[in-house]
């Protein structure tokens, strides 16, 4: 339903709230009635604010104000605050449990790349909710009850302490679960793209390689282009970056996410190249370097210096393939230039090196020098890098945010008249 269809009803609700105060009616009774109407409250919050919400599209050119992104958290906080203020502790327990369960179920219903936007949107909103609970906990430890001095109903302090503790723990777990869900879905999608885009894709003219393997294989490779390109990788990185920034996630999370995704790209690509005999050629190295350069340029343009080192082993592997391997001195140079590669990795790439028609094969004497660098039972020597699986690394919760006063903003396009009425009453009291 378009926003214009709600503007009249929104104005009427706010006007009614003003009339309630003008006629000296106590709005407390109506607020309590609204909060105790479980069916309507659930419809507006669980359906209107969570499951049926059309999430604002991430954009850096036309960025939304904070309140236009965090309004779900702000309205959930508003309901919770009012319930506590009026002593509705059991009601708030039920309300918050349903909200957290609905958010988790909703976010986990998305798969693949479709999980990125709702995952990050709700990650930010849940962290906002957690920040509010941290403020409530801090107040509680100072002996300040719900609603502060404005608390108008008595309540059981022990129940309140228990509730704040449980809700904080559950929101902590919810934020962790949301992060792991959308990151695992992102890595799962990325795992299908990395090898075709970074290793197999040959977009640099003049340096294409058929990879050997006979006439049939060359003909097959000529007609079957990789299903993904570097544009697909960069588009996914852009989508993640734009969502993190647009939805006001902390910089520490932005750094962690992009670094982990780039490490996944770098390790997956390196291990694949290491095990491919026909890809160890200088032409393939030129193509892969070209693809790496595009990621490096992306990191520079997004002020992400931490990203480039995640591709260091892959970059050095391509350098090894391009360097001369004719003499023992050449091998010394390779060890100096490719300092992150282990002796076993250098041995594998030299052994696998695919010689072009106009190149001389690596001599047995030079290969003997390479093999001599590999020491039996060397605990610091290894072949493949520890594989980066689709499992997600640890998530360190950002510090709680500074929580301002109650925000009563309800977007005009939301069809949540019950919640809108409660917000209007709160804004005028």
pLDDT at site 274:
93
Structure tokens at 101: 């369960």
* Cα–Cα distance for residue pair 272/212, rounded to 1 Å: 17
Residue 280 lies in a domain: yes
Give the chain's domain count: 1
pLDDT at site 8:
36
Taking the model in full, what pTM does it have?
A: 0.88
Residue 169 lies in a domain: yes
Residues 119, 121, 124, 126: what is their CA dihedral angle, to the nearest 10 degrees?
Answer: -70
User: Helix, strand, coil: what percent of the chain each, to 5?
Assistant: 65, 0, 35
Q: Is 70 helix (H, G, I), strand (E, B) or coil?
A: coil
Mean per-residue pLDDT pooled into runs of 10, the chain (429 residues): 37 51 69 95 97 94 91 97 92 97 98 97 98 94 72 74 96 97 95 95 73 47 73 97 97 96 96 90 93 96 93 96 94 96 95 84 93 89 81 89 92 96 91
Residue 207 lies in a domain: yes
Residue 45 lies in a domain: no
Residue 406 lies in a domain: no
Residue 170 lies in a domain: yes
* Cα–Cα distance for residue pair 189/247, rounded to 1 Å: 22
Residue 353 lies in a domain: yes
* Structural domain that includes position 202: 55-394
Question: CA–CA distance from 383 to each of 131, 274, 336, 343 (Å)?
Answer: 45, 8, 18, 8
Structure tokens at 143: 């002996």
pLDDT at site 302:
95
pLDDT at site 82:
94
Residue 18 lies in a domain: no
Q: Which residues contact 307 (CB under 8 A, 6 or more apart)?
A: 258, 259, 262, 295, 298, 299
């Amino acid at each position: 339903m378009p926003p214009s269809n709600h503007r009249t009803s929104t104005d009427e609700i706010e006007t009614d709230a003003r009339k309630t105060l003008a006629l000296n009616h106590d709005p407390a009774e109506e607020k309590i009635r609204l909060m105790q109407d479980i069916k309507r409250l659930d419809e507006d919050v669980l359906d209107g604010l969570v499951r049926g919400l059309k999430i604002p599209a991430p954009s850096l050119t036309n960025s939304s104000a904070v309140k236009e992104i965090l309004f779900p958290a702000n309205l959930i906080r508003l309901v919770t605050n009012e319930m506590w203020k009026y002593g509705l502790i059991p009601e708030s327990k039920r309300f918050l449990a349903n909200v957290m369960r609905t958010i988790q179920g909703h976010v986990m219903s998305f798969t693949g790349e479709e999980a990125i936007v709702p995952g990050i949107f709700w990650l930010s909103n849940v962290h906002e909710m957690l920040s509010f609970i941290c403020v409530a906990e801090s107040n509680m430890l100072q002996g300040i009850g719900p609603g502060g001095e404005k608390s108008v109903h008595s309540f059981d302090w022990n129940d309140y302490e228990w509730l704040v503790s449980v809700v904080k723990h559950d929101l902590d777990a919810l934020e962790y679960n949301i992060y792991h869900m959308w990151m695992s879905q992102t890595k799962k999608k990325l795992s299908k793209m990395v090898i075709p885009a970074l290793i197999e894709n040959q977009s640099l003219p003049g340096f294409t390689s058929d990879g050997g393997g006979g006439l049939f294989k060359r003909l097959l490779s000529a007609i079957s282009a990789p299903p993904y390109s570097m544009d697909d990788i960069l588009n996914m990185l852009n989508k993640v970056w734009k969502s993190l920034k647009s939805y006001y996630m902390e910089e520490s999370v932005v750094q962690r996410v992009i670094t982990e995704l780039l490490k996944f790209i770098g390790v997956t690509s390196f291990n694949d190249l290491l095990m491919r005999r026909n890809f160890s050629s200088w032409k393939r190295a030129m193509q892969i370097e070209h693809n790496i350069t595009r990621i490096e340029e992306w990191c520079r343009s997004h002020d992400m210096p931490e990203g480039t080192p995640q591709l260091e082993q892959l970059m050095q592997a391509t350098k090894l393939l391009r360097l001369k391997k004719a003499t023992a001195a050449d091998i010394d140079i390779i060890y100096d230039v490719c300092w992150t590669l282990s002796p076993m990795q250098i041995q594998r790439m030299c052994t696998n090196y695919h010689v072009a028609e106009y190149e001389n094969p690596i001599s047995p004497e030079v290969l003997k020098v390479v093999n001599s660098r590999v020491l039996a039972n060397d605990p610091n020597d290894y072949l493949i890098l520890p594989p980066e699986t689709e499992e997600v690394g640890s998530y360190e919760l950002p510090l709680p945010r500074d929580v301002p006063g109650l925000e009563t903003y309800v977007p005009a396009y939301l069809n949540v008249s019950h919640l809108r009425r409660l917000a209007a009453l709160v804004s005028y009291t």
